[in-house]
Structure 1
Amino acid sequence: MGEDILVAFRGVQKTYDGDSLVVKDLNLDIRRGEFLTLLGPSGSGKTTSLMMLAGFEVPTHGDIMLAGKSLRATPPHRRDIGMVFQNYALFPHMTILENVMFPLKVRRVASDDARQRARDALAMVRLDALESRRPAQLSGGQQQRVALARALVFRPQLVLMDEPLGALDKQLREHMQIEIKHLHAQLGVTVVYVTHDQTEALTMSDRIAVFNDGVIQQLDSPRGLYELPRNSFVAHFIGENNVLHGTVESVTEGFVQVRLDDGQRITARAVVGAGPGSRTSVSIRPERIHLDDIGPEANQLPGLIEETIYHGDHVRVRARIAGNPDFTIKLRYRASRILPETGAAVVAAVAPEDCLALDPVG
């Protein structure tokens, strides 16, 4: 195992009923100091993978290594891992300071030292002025910051976070995303974070492992996942996405000519390596589409406007294009822009490199 690899999953499988695998042959290296997010829908295997790393679940097959050593015989409390849960899991009868001191008391750190380290941890999350309060006297965001301080106070080499911001409102959740990201940069601790929220994953992570059906579909940087998804599931799950179905007619230097099901032809980037005659689903991001001329190389897709919705900084246009009645176009708002009216005929222009020919869906 390389020096920069802190955690390694090797051939890990998990079944609860002896029949269906929740996690299927997971091989994953987690780098020391990185912020890695496990992202996927409910039941995809991401939380089970996290719980096996924490020691709350046992792999049915395979092994998990931490700093080069197997965790099979190591109980959760001896793994040197901090945990942050969605429900905070704070002790209601203890003060905030006592809650943060608790992991140090378990590790038999001297009382004065434990108190000082707990105060330092509370100062780090800007709650040192509230150390004598109890959890019930704090807001949800404050409670989550206490849980964060408690997970970091014993200076673990690894911190696991399971949907930690799921119970917070949108504005507070976005604020906490940035706060956790800054803390990670400041401390250099390795973080493994579980969420089903793709915006959260894109905002916070160094790398993202996209799970579906117990398998990692793609492991990449946020930009890599968004710009070049490897398959239709990832394209659909990360960000917004228009899908047009068709058949590959020809392949030329990394691009394919696709005959769409309504008879139109477009050029798209070849992602899955499908040959002539293969079915494909072409993925196009709404913000990459133009309603004005962008040059002779662009794909031109005529259609009809179904709806125009003003969103402040942008305008969302829903159009019927190439047989898709919900084709979405996202336009940056300009006061001088004349917005298309419902029923108007338009031509959507999109560069070939912004069209991705992926595996067929639907």
Structure 2
Amino acid sequence: MALDSGPSGFVVFDRVQKSYDGETLVVKDLNLSIGKGEFLTMLGPSGSGKTTCLMMLAGFETATHGEILLDGNPINNIPPHKRGIGMVFQNYALFPHMTVAENLAFPLEVRKLDKSTREEKVKRALDMVQMGAFGGRRPAQLSGGQQQRIALARALVFEPELVLMDEPLGALDKQLREHMQFEITNLAHSLGITTVYVTHDQTEALTMSDRVAVFDDGRIQQLAPPDTLYEEPENAFVAQFIGENNALSGKVEQIQGDRCTVRLDNGALIDAKPVNVSQPGERTTISIRPERVEFNPELGPDAHTLDAEVLEFIYMGDVFRTRLRVAGRDDFFVKTRNRADQVRLNAGEHVKIGWLPQDCRALDA
């Protein structure tokens, strides 16, 4: 899928800032372009600015500075109900006194569509979310998952070009949430709808999105497809926030092209890919994913090996998660697949661990 990355995107935030008190910026100079038909997720911890961005796009908050454009048109001064945007919230926001069909017909009545057109669109939207038989029920007669499907159908019923979703699956149990993730992405792509999705759940962001914007402290820390975010984090915040990550502290000794040598705080020397370091003497955080580390490695002459002490061996079904003491830290993890020949390790055992230099990144301290 070709995605817009220039200012010609379908949704554009152009130097947008937001402050509630006139002093503290909760969104800082945001430039973001979202392509037509793209599924973009805004991911970040609480207070990072992601929901404020969504609310400015919806029209429920006003930008303090900068411009928001929809299909090339500025929308800062257009009220929410005239923006033609579908919205799905975590709390469903269904009218309890109306039937499911009446809930769906409401946005069509507001748009003054005739009765037969309304009925046809409501039927199509209900079929889309596999809820065709539930039109006569009230929201209170539905399960949480069913209510969320109806909320989704109501956001799609007037065929908007843009749908905004704010933590829509937060109230559902794990299995249902995973099923709904698949349904939502499938629907969005098959209908060609541009979707902006807000969550603090990294798994949700990685499995659903074309691109993910990782927010922290009112700024986008990295904007990239899910696999790039995970495999190539640009700073220590993204590395720690996306997936599991091992961090070891040290100082850059030398940099040569795409390889740098780092002396860890315990004195060990290791090679890494320099990503967010520029000169010798700089403090750095070494980032290495748990599944890239091997026990008693046979990875060739290039590999690093370190001594480690087993602190905990945790059975998780499909994987084993081993917590180790490495280079003076007690929070180093190795993930190995559950195989028939897996040797179970005991607390107190001493082992060798290793990885390839290209799997290891030198990031900001």
Q: Could you tell me the TM-score, scaled by structure 1's length? A: 0.98
Matched, 1:196 2:212: no
Q: State whether residues 8 and 33 of structure 2, in contact with CA within 8 Å, keep that contact through their aligned partners in structure 1.
A: no
| Residue type of the alignment partner of 2:359 | D
Amino acid aligned to 1:311: M
Query: What is the CA-CA distance between 1:3 and the residue it aligns to?
Result: 9.0
Alignment partner, residue 250 of structure 2: 246
Q: Show the counterpart of 1:221.
A: 225
Cα deviations by residue, 1:132-156 (Å, 9 ceiling, x for unpaired): 0000000000000000000001010
Partner residue of 1:263? Answer: 267
What amino acid does structure 1 have at the position aligned with 2:165? M
Q: RMSD across aligned C-alpha pairs, in angstroms?
A: 1.1
SS at match of 1:5: coil
Aligned residue for 1:289? 293
| Per-residue deviation, residues 286-331 of structure 1 (Å, max 9, x unmatched) | 0100003221111111111111011111111111011111110001
Q: What secondary structure does 2:62 align onto?
A: coil
Q: Which residue of 1 aligns with 2:155?
A: 151
1:186 aligns with 2:180: no
- Aligned counterpart in structure 2 of residue 324 of structure 1, from 299, 321, 329: 329
Q: Find the aligned partners of 2:42 and 2:318 in 1 and give their Cα distance.
A: 31
1:13-53 deviation per Cα after TM superposition (whole angstroms, max 9, x unaligned): 10001110000101100110000000000000000000000
Q: Which amino acid in structure 2 is aligned with residue 225 of structure 1?
A: L
Partner amino acid, structure 2, of 1:100: L
CA shift for structure 1 position 252: 1.6
Residue by residue over 1:224-245, the C-alpha shift from the partner in whole angstroms, topping out at 9 and shown as x without a partner, is 1000000000000000001000
Measured in 2, the distance between the counterparts of 1:241 and 1:93 equals 48
Structure 2: where are the runs of 5+ without partners?
none
Distance 1:224 1:207 in 2: 9
Encode CA deviations 1:77-124: one digit per residue, 9 max, x unaligned: 111100000000000011101111111110001011101101110000
Q: After the TM superposition, which residues 167-182 of structure 1 pair with which residues of structure 2 at under 5 Å, given as runs?
A: 167-182=171-186
Q: How many residues align?
A: 360
Distance in 2, matches of 1:101 and 1:5, equals 31
Asked whether 1:138 is paired with 2:145, we answer no
**Amino acid paired to 2:204:** E
User: What is the identity, as a one-letter code, of the residue corresponding to 2:294?
Assistant: H
Instruction: Check whether the contact 1:320–1:326 (CA below 8 A) recurs between aligned residues.
Output: yes
- Structure 2 partner of 1:92: 96
Paired residue type of 2:307 = P
Matched with 1:346 is 351
- TM-score for both structures, normalised by structure 2: 0.97
Equivalent position amino acid for 1:355 in 2: C
Q: 1:3 to 1:241 in 2, by over 3 A?
A: closer
- Rounded Cα–Cα distance in structure 2 between residues aligned with 1:72 and 1:184: 25
CA distance in 2, matches of 1:334, 1:156: 48
Distance in 1 between residues matched to 2:194 and 2:8, nearest whole Å? 11
**Separation in structure 1 between the aligned mates of residue 162 and residue 104 of structure 2, nearest angstrom:** 17
Kept in 2, the 8 Å contact 1:40–1:195? The answer is yes
Aligned ranges 1:8-47 → 2 under 5 Å: 8-47=12-51
| SS class of match (2:163) | strand
> Which amino acid in the other structure matches residue 124 of structure 1?
M
Query: Is the Cα–Cα contact under 8 Å of residues 277 and 364 in structure 2 kept in the other structure?
Result: no
Counterpart position of 2:66: 62
CA apart distance, 1:185:
1.7
8 A Cα contact 1:244 1:283, kept in partner: yes
CA contact (8 A) 2:100 2:135 kept: yes
What is the Cα deviation at residue 273 of structure 1?
Answer: 3.4
- In the TM superposition, residue 274 of structure 1 has moved relative to its aligned partner by 2.3
Is the 8 Å Cα contact of residues 277 and 284 (structure 2) preserved in structure 1? no
Check if 1:122 corresponds to 2:126.
Answer: yes
CA contact (8 A) 1:4 1:32 kept: no
Q: Secondary structure at the match of 1:97?
A: helix
Aligned to 2:307: 302
Question: Could you say what secondary structure the match of 2:92 adopts?
Answer: coil
AA aligned opposite 2:152:
L
Between stretches 68-77 and 117-126, larger displacement belongs to 68-77
Using the alignment, how far apart are the partners of 1:96 and 1:190 within structure 2?
25
Q: Distance between the aligned counterparts of 1:227 and 1:295, measured in 2?
A: 22
Q: Mean alpha-carbon deviation: is it higher for 120-129 or for 271-280?
A: 271-280
Distance in 2, Cα, partners of 1:335 & 1:341: 17
